[in-house]
Structure formats: C-alpha cells, structure tokens
Amino acid sequence: MDKSVYDRFLALDERHFWRRGKRELVLSWLEAAVGAPGGALRLLDVGGATSLVTREMSAFGAVTVVEPEASCVALLAGDPRVTAVQGGLPGLPVTGPFDVITLLDVLEHLDDDVGGLRELYDLLRPGGHLLLTVPAYQWLWSDHDVVLHHRRRYTRGRLEPVMRAAGFELVRASYYTSLLLPLMAAQRVGSRFKPGRKADRHPEYDVKLPAAPLNAALSAVMRVERAVVDRLALPAGGAIVALCRRPE
C-alpha cells in the first residue's frame, strides 16, 4: 500500500467508526471460535499494518504479526504483546503450526488468492481456524481500491469456492456494514463522476475521521449490526467476514 495509507492508519485506528467496528467484530468472532480470552493459543496475524486488533488478539495467546512495511514492524516491535516480523504473503517467514490465523483485508491484494490461502492452510494445525475479512462487490470499485492496491473485491459466491479450493472447511460467513451500504455505494460510485477527477491521476488515501457526533452515531450503527452478525448471516454489505477451518 502507499505510505499515505499507513500514515493515515496510525491516526484512524483507534477512533474511526469503521476500523473500530471491524476490530470489535473480529474479536467477537474469534472468541466464538476459540473460547474466552486467557488461553495459551498461538496466533498469526498476516498483514497487520498498524492495527490495534493485532495487539488485542494477545488476550488469546502469543501473537506473531507479519507485515511488509518496515515502519509498521518497527512500531509493533515496541509492543511486548506481539512478535513482529517483516515479510509478506506468499513466502511468510514463520513456522507453524498456529491455532488461529487472521487475514484482515489482505486476500484482495494477492495475485493468487487460492495459493495464498494454501500457504496459510499449511501453517495451521489440524482443526485450526482462519478468520478473514475482504471488501465486497466489484461494482463498488473506486479510487479507494486503487490506492490500497487491491486486485479485486468479492462476493460470498466468489469467496467461498476460493476457500474450499485451498482445502478449508467454511464454518460461517456473512456480509457486514450492511446498514451503511447505501451510504458507501453513494460515496464510492459518486466519486467516479467527481468534477475535475482525472482518470490517469494517482489517488491518495482520503479517509478522514468524521466529526465526533457523526462518528459516534456510525459507531452505534455498527455495534447494532455486530449484534446481528454474531447470530446470523446478512445477505448484503460493504465487506465480508468469514471463519474457516483446517479439517482434523
């Protein structure tokens, strides 16, 4: 990803409604899969960037994070809760087996998504879990995807065969940010027709922290939705969360 993205991640990670909501969703699904925090699991977070969820996962056990950006590795290296290693997928510089692997908004960056998942399959113990998130719907493609160096966006119908082709059993999957999908669609699709936009320009990561009242309101919307997603799969949304398992 562009350096502008990592710089902005640092500022947004803790407070932005989207990133906070995703962290809470991931931790909730992780707890549902492996039990309450306090265990002695071995966890791997691939492409952790500056995400707080990497550190919060340490409540479940020993966390190793692999991240290609040197500045992010240096930042995480100062935190005793995680072991930070520079590297990327494919060719992860770690040795399994792990009990849990998280792949949060990473799969869409890979040229070979099935090959990347097969590498993670080999790093999991039999019965271990992979928890991943991806952006949804190719029709939502925008400058946001360009600056993040995405290769594709997914639907459930596209994602699930990819996971199975890599050998995984699907445990559960759902769209999320469903309630915010109309707003997202208006913003992303509308950005293509923004006055003065040039098709050949190099876009910058332009996500900003909303004003406090709006950020609080959108955070509340995501908390309400998470309570639903924890119990049943939603049929549409701006992103997808999936939990799969390496067979015993």
47, 88 contact by CB (below 8 A): yes
| pLDDT above 60 for 147 | yes
Q: What is the pLDDT of residue 5?
A: 58
Burial of 37-56, coded b for 16+ CB within 10 Å and e otherwise, reads eeeebbbbbbbbbbbebbbb
- What are 181's strand-pairing partners? none
Residue type, 224: V
Strands 169-176 and 239-245: antiparallel
**Which CATH architecture does the domain made up of 3-245 adopt?**
3-Layer(aba) Sandwich (3.40)
Q: What are phi and psi of 14, to 5 degrees?
A: -80, -35
Would you say how long the chain is, in residues? 248
Q: How confident is the model at residue 53 (pLDDT cuts 50, 70, 90)?
A: confident
Q: pTM for this one? A: 0.90
151, 216 contact by CB (below 8 A): no
Q: What is the pLDDT of residue 129?
A: 98
The percentage of residues in the chain with a pLDDT greater than 90, rounded to a whole number, is 63
Residue type, 239: A
Q: What is the pLDDT of residue 111?
A: 95
pLDDT digits (tens, 9 = 90+) for 166-191: 999 999 999 999 999 998 889 887 77
H-helix or E-strand containing 110?
Answer: none
218, 209 contact by CB (below 8 A): no
134, 239 contact by CB (below 8 A): yes
Instruction: List the domain boundaries for the chain.
Output: 3-245
* Token pair for 192: 């293509």
Q: How confident is the model at residue 141 (pLDDT cuts 50, 70, 90)?
A: very high
* Token pair for 164: 């199975």
Closest CA to 239 of 109, 81, 132, 126: 132
Torsion angle in degrees (nearest 10) through CA of 37, 159, 222, 130? 10
pLDDT digits (tens, 9 = 90+) for 1-42: 555 555 666 667 778 898 889 999 999 999 999 998 887 899
